[in-house]
Amino acid sequence: MSTLLHLRAAGTSLVLDLADQLLPVVRHWGADLGELGEDELQALALAGWVARGDSPFDRADQVSMLPEHARGWLGRPGVEGSRAGRDWSPAFRTSGEAPATVTTEADGTRRVVVRGGDACAYLEVELELELHPGGLLRTRTTLTNTGEEVYDLGALRTTLPVPERATELLDFAGRHTMERVPQRQPFDIGAHSREVRTGRTGLDAVHLLCAGEPGFGFGSGQVWAVHLGWSGNQTTYAERLFNGSRVLGSGERLEHGEVRIGAGERVTTPWLYAAHGTGLDEVAGRFHAWLRSRPQHPARPRPVTINNWEATYFDHDLARLTDLVDRGARVGAERFVLDDGWFGGRRDDTTSLGDWVVSEDAWPDGLDPLIEHVHAAGMEFGLWVEPEMVSLDSDLARAHPEWIFAAGGRRGLESRQQHVLDLGHPGAYAHVRDQLTALLDRYAIAYLKWDHNRYLNDAGHTPGGEPGVRAHTLAVYRLMDELLAAHPGLEIESCSAGGGRVDLGVLERTVRVWASDCIDPLERQQIQRGTMLLVPPELVGTHVASRESHTTGRRHDLDFRAGTALWGHLGIEWDLATCSEEELTELSHWVAFHTSHRELLHTGRVVNGDHHDDATWVHGTVAQDRSEALYQVASLRRPDTTGPHRVRLPGLDPAVRYRVTLESPGQDPLPAGLGVVPWAVDGITLTGRLLAEAGLPVQPTDPEHSQIWRAVAVGGSGGATPRMTA
Ligand code: GLA
Identify the residue whose C-alpha is closest to ligand 1 atom 12: 340
For the packed helices 318-331 and 581-596, what is the interaxial angle rounded to 10 degrees? Answer: 60
Q: 583 C-alpha vs ligand 1 centroid, how far in Å? A: 25
Asked: is 606-713 a CATH 1.25.10.10 domain? The reply is: no
Q: Which CATH class is domain 4-293?
A: mainly beta
Element (H, E) at 656: strand 656-663
pLDDT digits (tens, 9 = 90+) for 162-202: 999 999 999 999 999 999 999 999 999 999 999 999 999 99
Q: Residue 672: is its pLDDT beyond 90?
A: no
Domains in the chain: boundaries: 4-293, 305-388+430-453+488-601, 606-713
**Mutate which of 176, 391, 517 to test ligand 1's pocket (most atoms within 8 Å of Cβ)?**
517
Sequence-ordered list of residues with C-beta below 8 angstroms from that of 297, at least 6 positions apart, any chain: 291, 511
Q: Beta 512-514 vs 540-545: how paired, if at all?
A: parallel
Smallest CA separation from ligand 1 atom 5, residue: 340
Is residue 628 within 8 Å of residue 723, measured between CB atoms?
A: yes
- Enumerate residues lining ligand 1, CB below 6 A: 309, 339-340, 349, 384, 451, 453, 495, 497-498, 514, 517
Say if residue 717's pLDDT is above 60.
no
With DSSP H G I counted as helix, E B as strand and the rest as coil, what are the percentages for the chain, rounded to 5? 20, 35, 45
Question: Ligand 1 centre from 339 Cα, in Å?
Answer: 8
Catalytic residues: 451, 517
Contact 200, 231 (CB under 8 A): yes
- Find, among 477, 478, 455, 424, the residue nearest to 205 by Cα: 455
Which of the listed ranges 59-68, 365-374, 608-617 does the model predict with the highest average pLDDT?
A: 365-374
Reference 665, options 569, 515, 519, 565; nearest CA is: 565
Backbone angles phi, psi at 242, to 5 degrees: -65, -20
Residues forming beta bridges with residue 4, ordered by sequence position = 17
Average pLDDT over residues 464-470: 97
Q: What CA–CA distance (Å, rounded) separates 608 from 619?
A: 4
Asked if residue 722 has pLDDT above 70, the reply is no
Ligand 1 midpoint to CA 95 (Å): 52
pTM of the model: 0.97
Contacts of 244 (CB under 8 A, 6+ apart): 164
Residue 671's pLDDT band, with cuts at 50, 70 and 90, is: low
Condensed to tens digits (0 to 9), the pLDDT of residues 613-652 reads: 789 999 999 999 999 999 999 999 998 888 778 999 999 9
pLDDT for position 37: 97
CA of 311 to the centre of ligand 1 (A): 12
Q: Mean pLDDT across the chain, nearest whole number? A: 95
pLDDT of 44 strictly over 50: yes
454 Cα: distance to centroid of ligand 1 (angstroms):
11
pLDDT band at residue 52 under the 50/70/90 scheme: confident
430 pLDDT tier (thresholds 50, 70, 90): very high
Question: Which of ligand 1's atoms lies nearest the C-alpha of 496?
Answer: 8
Residue 308 Cα to ligand 1 middle (Å): 11
Which residues have C-beta within 8 Å of that of residue 131, sequence separation ≥ 6? 7, 8, 9, 12, 14, 109, 110, 137
395-401: long-range pairs with CB below 8 Å, 24+: 395/344, 395/354, 395/355, 396/354, 396/355, 396/421, 396/431, 397/354, 400/427, 400/428, 400/431
Going by CA atoms, what residue is nearest to atom 2 of ligand 1? 497
How high is the pLDDT of residue 568? Answer: 98
Query: Residues 532, 538, 541, 546: what is their CA dihedral angle, to the nearest 10 degrees?
Result: 100
pLDDT for res 667: 65
Look at ligand 1, atom 7, and give the residue with the nearest C-alpha.
497
Tell me, what's the pLDDT at 565? 98
In tens, the pLDDT along 297-333 reads: 999 999 999 999 999 999 999 999 999 999 999 999 9
Question: Which residue has the least CA distance to atom 1 on ligand 1?
Answer: 497
305-388+430-453+488-601 classified as CATH 3.20.20.70: yes
Phi-psi region of 313 (alpha: psi -120 to 50; beta: other; left: phi over 0): left
Q: Which residue in 307, 321, 258 sits closest to 469, CA to CA?
A: 258
Per-residue confidence (pLDDT) for residue 176, from 0 to 100: 98
Query: Which has the closest alpha carbon to 283: 110, 156, 187, 166?
Result: 166
pLDDT of residue 452: 98
pLDDT, tens only, 108-166: 999 999 999 999 999 999 999 999 999 999 999 999 999 999 999 999 999 999 999 99
Nearest to residue 714, comparing CAs of 633, 627, 603, 621? 627
Which pLDDT belongs to residue 61? 72
- Beta strands, E only, 292-392: 305-307, 335-338, 380-385, 389-390
| Res 668: pLDDT | 60
Q: Which atom of ligand 1 is nearest to the CA of 514?
A: 8
**pLDDT value at position 693?**
96
Q: How far apart are CA 304 and CA 594, in angstroms?
A: 9
The CA distance from 646 to 574, in Å, is: 34
Pocket-testing residue among 313, 339, 383, ligand 1, by greatest number of atoms within 8 A of Cβ: 339
Q: Do residues 155 and 79 touch, judged by C-beta distance below 8 A?
A: yes
**What type of residue sits at position 291?**
L
- The confidence score (pLDDT) of residue 277 equals 98
Q: Which residues share a beta bridge with 358?
A: 343
